[in-house]
Amino acid sequence: MRWSRWLVISVLLVLLTVAGSVSSVWAGTGVAVVKTANPYVVSIFATPGGREIAQVIVSGRPPETKAAVASVPDVYVQGTLNSLSEVPAFDWSYGCSATSAAMLFGYYDRTGFSNMYTGPTNGGTCPLNNSVWGHTSYPNVTCGECPLSATHQGVDGRTTRGHVDDYWINYLNAGPDPYIVNGWTAHTADSAADFMGTSQSGVPDGATYFYWYTSGAPLYDYAGSGYPDGCHGMRLFAESRGYGVTTNFSQVIQERATDPTKGFTFANFMAEIDAGRPVLIQVQGHTMLGYGYNTTGNIIYIHNTWDYSDHQMTWGGSYSGMQHQAVTVLRLSGSAPPPPPTITVASPNVGLTWQAGTSQTITWTYTGSPGSYVKIELLKNGVFNRTIASSASTGTGSYSWLIPSTQVTGSDYKVKISSTSNSAITDSSDVNFTITGTSPPTITVSAPNGAETWQAGTYQTIRWTYTGSPGAYVKIELFKGVDLNRTIASSASISTGSYSWPILSTQTLGDDYTVRVTSTSNSAITDSSNAVFTIAAPPPAGLTVTSPNGWLTWRAGTYQTITWTYTGSPGAYVKIELLKGGVVNRVITTGTSIGSGGMGSYRWAISYFQSQGTDYRIRITSTSNAGITDTSDYNFTISW
């Protein structure tokens, strides 16, 4: 169910915030949570071109202790000090991201785009704060009403259901939306929260998703993956009001980009403000609106969605403990001309050495709309040498080039990339790179490579490296002394560079084993372990509870994952029991698979009616041998 999935996500977010990092899978979503200092990164996935996109959930609400108010100088010094006037300051209205977008649209409503706000209040002009519309209290949050952020029946003269009526239950509630439960038709989208996907269809109430490239390149008008993108939704809202959008994108700031040459900078922010455009400021788990700057200390002035006051933070720093991550930019037609489109070669762009006969990745960045396709050419000493690709997709930002084995060697090569629709939009490598001659393909065994001791009945990883093109598959063989003992794998993919080998529990013990890895297409390309390794007796059968193993708090009514490890052969199934005060409270399962590869897990739906307590432990026992058992080392807590 939608609400139970979000309870699991909420618990994980709390655990991540406390522990700093965790590796898990969110129940019901299939999304891997990797170790990260930012618990609001839901997932990081790659585009078909190999560019990493972060999916971020933004769900901040007003804290109990508000941030200090700032004094914003009412003066303009170009390139030094500037703040936009006519920027509303709204307090939290059904989501910080939707509220920040509403402030942005309210500013435009007051500065010439007068159809952004279409209600009767203030003579039809968006007010500078949302106090006129009042507040509505819910169990977990008090919301300031604001029809630009989220429409609500009975607010601003509205007589029909709006965003709040159709989608909102309570802060972070992800239960079925009211319009679904009550069987009515949802209203036509007419607020920022509607178009941004806030609180809708699996998105917890008050939360919005954003996406951006981890590299620091701008991600233009992305529709979202699984959930809508808030940036794309802002564009849709502006267009629904009859206004054109020249550019909209989210972008990691340079201080957080994985590519130090990319990312949105303080200078970029200044340029947006100087052009009369507020910018959404994305910190961990929270969105605010930036509307001014001061180069003394790299200060940016913000409205934080918590009150009607002015505030400030240091660019790239933290605000109320939330680290600055990214920005979201929206440029309306007529507000400022878009910059001319550009293409920039990213690689090869330093003194690289590439080998003929190998595959190498050419990468580039672009701004604006340089066209859908690019031509990629190889230059030698500034003169055209060959066309690498006549029509590669611009949007991928990369192209895998198999360098011909016959390519002439040299240290004076560059790559040139040009738009196929406008040859004036072009760029070349800043410095030369080198192409060297081919070398014969090789395979090298890296593990086991001597002195290892592997136990029978365990999984071990055989590893190798290779150069050139030795073929797509390899055969892996085990030798004892000089004699072939067995074929471990007759056809393993060479590109993985590894193979997980389940050593038989009956494997003959010995200290004179080696592994040989050979190309299946050319048996002359082969390598063996440099020295012998040992296969020792299998480990004794055993079980070890790994989670919960103390100090955790799990909530009744949520899904949680019980995990364990095992050694040897404790049997195919295990029984899982819940102990309270050392006494069996309930049998969670009478028999579930022990797992594979020495690890097992069980997804436990904790009953809503489970008694609260701080003295719980988990006991896991082999169903075929009750003597093989283990219990959590320390107590954990179940709360409501």
Could you tell me how many helices (H) and strands (E) the chain has, helices first? 7, 45
294-297 own/partner pairs: CB under 8 Å, 24+ apart: 294/73, 294/80, 294/81, 295/79, 295/80, 295/81, 295/270, 296/80, 296/81
Instruction: Report the run of H or E that residue 9 belongs to, with start and end.
Output: helix 2-19
**Which positions ≥6 away from 497 have C-beta within 8 Å?**
463, 464, 465, 466
Q: Does the structure show a pLDDT above 70 at 286?
A: yes
Q: How far is Cα 290 from Cα 321, in angstroms, rounded to an integer?
A: 17
Cis peptide before 348 (omega within 30 of 0): yes
Identify which has the larger pLDDT, 385 or 424.
385
6-15 own/partner pairs: CB under 8 Å, 24+ apart: 6/172, 6/173, 6/174, 6/204, 7/174, 7/555, 7/557, 7/558, 7/559, 8/558, 8/559, 8/560, 9/204, 10/172, 10/204, 11/554, 11/555, 11/558, 11/560, 12/39, 13/39, 13/40, 15/552
Give yes or no for a contact between 372 and 421, defined as CB atoms under 8 angstroms apart.
yes
Instruction: Give how far Cα 191 sits from Cα of 27, 130, 196, 208, 241, Å.
Output: 31, 15, 9, 14, 10
pLDDT in tens, 451-495: 999 999 888 999 999 988 899 999 999 999 999 999 999 999 999
Residue ranges of domains in the chain = 81-332, 342-436, 442-536, 542-639
Mean pLDDT value of segment 98-105: 98
Mean pLDDT value of segment 221-233: 92
- Report the alpha-carbon angle 222-228-234, nearest 5: 70
**Which positions ≥6 away from 30 have C-beta within 8 Å?**
none
For the ranges 96-105, 335-344, 498-507, the one whose mean pLDDT is highest: 96-105
- The pLDDT value recorded for residue 74 is 61
Percent of the chain with pLDDT over 90: 78
> What is the SS3 string spanning 362-391?
EEEEEECCCCCEEEEEEEECCEEEEEEEEE
- The pLDDT value recorded for residue 156 is 97
**Which positions ≥6 away from 260 have C-beta within 8 Å?**
254
- The pLDDT value recorded for residue 34 is 43
- The pLDDT value recorded for residue 75 is 52
Burial group, residue 206, by CB count within 10 angstroms (0-12, 13-18, 19+): buried
**Residue 18: what are its φ and ψ, rounded to 5°?**
-75, -45
Instruction: For domain 81-332, say whether CATH 3.90.70 is its number.
Output: yes
- The pLDDT value recorded for residue 71 is 86
Q: How far is Cα 163 from Cα 10, in angstroms, rounded to an integer?
A: 23
**Confidence at 116, pLDDT banded by 50, 70, 90:** very high
Runs of H (alpha helix) within 46-142: 96-110
Give yes or no for a contact between 578 and 584, defined as CB atoms under 8 angstroms apart.
yes
pLDDT in tens, 429-457: 999 999 998 778 899 999 999 999 999 98
- Identical fold for domains 442-536 and 542-639, yes or no, is yes
Question: Residue 626 is which amino acid?
Answer: A
- The pLDDT value recorded for residue 339 is 52
**Confidence at 171, pLDDT banded by 50, 70, 90:** very high
Correct CATH for 542-639 of 3.30.420.280, 3.90.25.10, 2.60.40.2840, 1.10.150.120: 2.60.40.2840
Bridge partners, 353 (sequence order):
434
Structure tokens at 312: 């400030």
- The pLDDT value recorded for residue 338 is 46
Instruction: For domain 342-436, say whether CATH 2.60.40.10 is its number.
Output: yes
Mean pLDDT value of segment 618-626: 97
Q: Give the residue among 368, 342, 367 at the shortest CA–CA distance from 424.
A: 342
Identify which has the larger pLDDT, 30 or 121.
121
Q: Does the structure show a pLDDT above 70 at 16?
A: no
Identify which has the larger pLDDT, 74 or 420.
420
- The pLDDT value recorded for residue 11 is 35
Correct CATH for 442-536 of 2.60.40.10, 3.30.70.920, 3.30.420.40, 3.40.50.970: 2.60.40.10
Give yes or no for a contact between 464 and 476, defined as CB atoms under 8 angstroms apart.
no
**Confidence at 25, pLDDT banded by 50, 70, 90:** very low
**Confidence at 299, pLDDT banded by 50, 70, 90:** very high
